[in-house]
Structure 1
Amino acid sequence: MHEFEGKIELSERDKAMLAGNEGRAAQIAIRIVIRIALIQDAPRLLDISNVHVGGSIYTGQASLKVIETLADLGTKVRVPTSINAISIDRQRWRDQHIDEEFAGYADRLASAFEKMGAKPIFSCTPYVFPDTPKLGDDIVWAESNAIVYSNSVLGARTNRHGDFLDICAAITGRAPACGLHLPENRKGNFVINVPPLSNLDSSFYAVLGYLIGKHAGNDIPVIQGIRVQPSVEDLKYLSSTLATSGAVGMFHMVGVTPEADSLEQALGGVPAVRTLDVAEDELQSVFQKLSTTTEDELDLVLLGSPHFTLGDFEVLAQLTTGKQASPDCDMLITTSQYVHQQARDAGYLAPIERFGARVSTDLCLCMLNASMFPSDTRTAMTNSGKFAHYGPGLVGKKVSFGSLKDCVESAVEGRRKINKPAWLN
């Protein structure tokens, strides 16, 4: 008899792992999964088909020891597993003035995940890679924007998980059967009425997500009123700010996301518990408040939180063609090696690099180290609502928020230039 007897329904394989029949690492991992399931009042575990590990950021010796211990026990992940962005750019960290000891620890952490069979995509946008999960798949994805995107846009099922549960799920192929894994918990209950706006760009979706997140609480938003098909990039920025200003794990968008062909379907045939009628002045207020400075001086433009996608590079290439950034303003873009190569093959990188921007891979903006920039760098600008929120605390810089077009125009002039959004009447 094991200590979990009578507390949770376990499969024969779960019991075998508990008994150590699949090795010490699987035994440790299944115990952790079960304990979390008990905390979450899950009646059983379920099989999963994919994992995206979020605990890939080096935060100290304790987290490194846990992952290296699992790897040293010889275990391998049981399901396809990918790795989130890491703490360093493996190709460029020396040129970025990163401390060698820190870089060594960060690399060891990534290597331990690789040793267990996880794919080193080092990206916070795993949904742009081949072989993404499909509608109805049970998965365990970490990274807040990826969780929202997978639940909402892909229709795959995952909860918001903390570090270590992800790798334990990858090792065992099991996760607690609760929360957004269960169909009855995926119904929307908070209707968001968006006014009839045109000329929507990614800044609109970042602002809308930030606004909704502040109101949502534990509810699942159902967005209606979007009259154009959002791009992957639009939905990426929406997902990221929903999870930044609130604890949203999923949204529906009527006529867009796969579980919301109609408002009735999104709500599961049950009336909404509440409604938010979004006003243009609220959107404008959020747009302005995402900036934490009004200084005109601009030292740095930061793009790529979440990671720049191929569509982002395409738009940026169009905006930068024939233009030149001010020598006083640096522009840094973070993305994955996969998308970086896609952008180069598509011809998007050439005009961007001629403009004066530089690209860093493997890490993302939220893992930037202040030593990567000149010591007199004071102000930055971004098109990312997520980084506008977290950036001042993460890198110690005052941050302005604007559209991607604003970021390019500001880099050209070497000073902050933020226009009234084209989507505001």
Structure 2
Amino acid sequence: MLRTWFQRKNAVALVAGVLILAGLLLTLRLTIVTRDEPWFISVLKIDGPSYIKGMESIAESGDFLNLEDIYHSPGYQMYLGAIDRLYPFERGLFFGLKLLNGLLFLGTIAITVYLGERHVRRNAGWIAGAILALSLDWQVYANLLQGEVLQGFCFALFAWILMREAARVRADGETARVRRKFALPAASLLAAFLTLLQVRYFPLVPLSTAALLLIPAAGGNGSAASRMRAAAWFLGPCLVILGAWSWHQSGREGRALFVSKGSEFRIRVAYNPNATGASYPYPEVVEPTGLRFVLSHPGKVAWLVRERLLYLGNWKRDIWDLGNPVTMHAKQKIVPTALEIPVHVVGTLLFVAGVWLRIRNCHAHGHGSAAIWLYVWILAVVAGPVLVFASSRFLIAALPVMALFQAHALLALARGRHLLE
């Protein structure tokens, strides 16, 4: 009887729901334990003090445009400044921000479940939601004054808007095309905000534009003219916002800037003989740097790309590795063990297998899918770290989409399909 009840109620969804609840309760427990501490582990401060200074400067001046520091995530400083002005209590701002992060975490899980069930395969969304809820990275960063959870939520919302619209336009035809005049600018605003949060996310803009122009399924199988209009509706608001912001900041600094300061410095750190591929600590910069280094040391550049991929996938530990989840939750301490890296390796392999299976399935059925936006999501997150320098925390915003492909691979394995056949 119990077995029949589970089958009727979808046992996978029920078990995944329990795991999602467990993950959220662990996150909430960490929130209660750490309360108003913005960073309960000092090494995880990262750029946090700069964010607080930006928030305080906005509180004093009421000026969101003329920030004192546009090197460290101007978008996140403005976000914190807005929350600070709206927060109704005199105390507990950081605790309130953690609770808001928890809501963003919950919202990201909900979107992940929806995308998986609607666009990947049955039960993939539930499994992906459970994987995300149990992610130590998301549980910890939801309790830090850092922008990773906000970034992940914005990416999930971006994918949800565009995948939903592509499916609607494909199903309803011309009657649905008026709606895209609202959906595409909304996605454009999210892309602009993500770029203000981290300039390394700017590849989302050209990748999305290319998808709308070149891949019919991305915009609902429209004609070439329809795809050009869709690309214009998407590209216009984003370029206006980023262009106006960059123009204003360039005038303030007396030199050309795109979104934030520090691009030249990052390139010099990323491409010089002492570069390691890790985002921190910074090596001593020696000549040649930048393009001269790339042209004169192609072998070292290839090695750096490999190292960045290892750091990004957490196959190689960096300074911000979180260690094992038991010690983190029990004592709020980072204690690495030998078990974490094999887990990350298996997760990466499942992700790659899931991507391969999804592409093969689309090819076998002879058509594309709105799921192209999942590939845009992962590419937009990975491009910057692979081209400059990397850390496992740079992948946090992509963990929801990675979980979807991991779930796809797990379901294929569970149903006895050979991944390499």
TM-score range, shorter chain: under 0.3
TM-score for the superposition, normalised by structure 1: 0.24
Greater strand percent: which structure?
A: 1
User: Per residue, is there more helix in 1 or in 2?
Assistant: 2
With CA pairs under 8 Å and 6+ residues apart, which has the higher RCO, 1 or 2?
2
